[in-house]
Amino acid sequence: MNLTTKTTSIGLAAAAASALLLRGAVGTGILAGYLAGAAVTGACLVRQRRVLETAPRRALHTMVEGFLAKLAAIVLLILAILLVPGLRQRCDLAATLVAFGGAVLLVLLPGTVANARLLRERRAA
């Protein structure tokens, strides 16, 4: 189990515990935001790792793609909460945004370190 998996799991446990403790719309927002942020960031990291293994010169390109994917995901999540009938009452927007941001940081930082290590090893070889 690598550091990215550990931090993602710890974050999920913390989000679930917070959701259980706070309950209601805030709890739902925390869980939804964390799951969305972790899923999008994890998918972007996997894509970046694949590109680093095959075409390392495109590293910066995949980082920009990842940023844009997270930006699109947060915009779609906000639109869903605001426009889907009944979802606004069941899912707190502020809690969702904070949890999404927290998930992105918890998954992105160790994932980026692992990908940078992979790139350094490839350059050294």
- At 93 the pLDDT is 97
pLDDT tens digits for 56-114?
899 999 999 999 999 999 999 999 999 999 999 999 999 999 999 999 999 999 999 99
Residue 125 has pLDDT above 80, yes or no: no
Token pair, residue 14, equals 């913390």
CB 34 within 8 A of CB 12: yes
**Residue-level pLDDT at 102:** 97
CA-based R_g, the chain, Å? 16
Q: Give the mean pLDDT of the chain.
A: 95
15: left (phi over 0), alpha (psi -120 to 50) or beta: alpha
Supply 54's token pair: 């095959």
